[in-house]
Structure 1
């Protein structure tokens, strides 16, 4: 199975036909740039033209009210875990608190409580976590001046669950492949700047290819 992971789209719809083919697209949030629910729906519809199978979380720049639209469309991953074939996928929308008071932020304590209640199905192919907020201290959360801006709740959850990999976004500048206690953490960078990751799942270890359209 090939999975395309995109995040931090920020309302970009141009050039999506140049993205690589995949069986499933996972969306890591910030579909819009402080847009409406209708804007979120338009952004996901643009991806669905090429990738009819999709699951999505929202980011801190998206409206929390859009979760209902994602649920109605059957693509919502926030505070959910689903099994697709041999793989389980769990997701978390929004981000921990920022200095900018963006629309979809919440406290790490509330995040931790919800994550502790999340039931994750067993899957022989392992678990993939999709979180807009990167784990604190992972490197995928490192700002240009060096400060780490990720979520402590996500980091603790990842250490407890030990998933196959974590897919995240939020910090555009922290593009790369990192790890938390040996668990791969992938921040492909913002699709707004053309960045994406293609994950290949098979009999061997998952393979991750980072790419850029621009």
Structure 2
């Protein structure tokens, strides 16, 4: 199943639309920061613009909120569109995905769950997954990895790293740290930050007997 992997849109509908129009895909997974409560006075209006673009291609979409998405407002909108993956399991053709949004910062952003909260919720949900191929969508990246470096410092979650090291996920989509676009591996679990849509970055995963991920940009 050809799946578009995106994160950190921050309300940039122009770049999101270009990516959606450029690529052929069957599904979308989004790791959060769809709109941006610090950037837009009308957070929910900009969120609706983003979600309207998801609807445009009539494909299967699942998303979690990021740290700049107020949890209650964002999850309500995702539920109304039947695309919420936050603290949920989503079923796709040939795989399942589990998700958790939010991310830790020093800035007091709208949605900052603890690493322990993320780990416990995803572990509990993953025990209910039945598919042979399992993905996770977690906005907060794992600590001390290629995916959590901001201003030269590792700023990810130790608990999320423990989760990935102990999990049986085939692929984890993360984001949050814009400058840490890349991949890492944790005891067989591959994690990918495709880079922020805000800067024209994304990835495409071919998910079948195996998983092949191509990092792309506009």
TM exceeding 0.5: yes
CA distance in 2, matches of 1:161, 1:136: 15
Q: Deviations over 1:179-208 (max 9, x none)?
A: 1223211111100000000000123x2111
Aligned counterpart, 1:151:
157
**Kept after mapping to 1: 8 A contact 2:94/2:208:** no
Counterpart position of 1:48: 55
Closer, same or farther in 2 for the Cα pair 1:19/1:58, shift >3 Å?
farther
Q: Report if aligned partners of 2:136, 2:171 keep a CA contact under 8 Å in 1.
A: yes
Residue 38 of structure 1 corresponds to 45
Determine helix, strand or coil for the equivalent of 1:109.
Answer: helix
RMSD of equivalent CA atoms: 1.6
What is the rounded CA distance, in whole Å, between the counterparts of 1:114 and 1:162 in structure 2? 15
Residue aligned with 1:14, SS:
helix
Offset of residue 52 of structure 1 = 3.0
List gaps (5 residues or longer) in structure 1.
none
**Superposed counterparts of 1:95-174, under 5 Å:** 95=103, 97-118=104-125, 119-124=127-132, 126-145=133-152, 147-174=153-180
Task: Tell whether the 8 Å contact from 1:9 to 1:29 is kept in structure 2 after alignment.
Answer: yes
Alignment deviations for residues 118-170 of structure 1 (CA, whole Å, 9 cap, x no partner): 2431212x11111111112221111231x211122222222222200111100
Map Cα deviations across residues 12-58 of structure 1 (whole Å, 9 max, x no partner). Answer: 11142443110001111001122423322221212321353210001
The equivalent residue for 2:185 is 179
Does the aligned pair in 2 maintain the 1:88–1:120 contact within 8 Å? no
Give unmatched runs, 5+ long, in structure 2: none
Q: Which stretch shows the higher mean deviation, 158-167 or 54-63? A: 158-167
Determine helix, strand or coil for the equivalent of 2:136: strand
| Deviation for aligned residue 1:86 | 2.0
Which of residues 200, 205, 209 is equivalent to 2:214? 209
Give me the TM-score of the superposition, normalised by structure 2: 0.89
* Mean Cα deviation higher: 59-68 or 41-50: 41-50
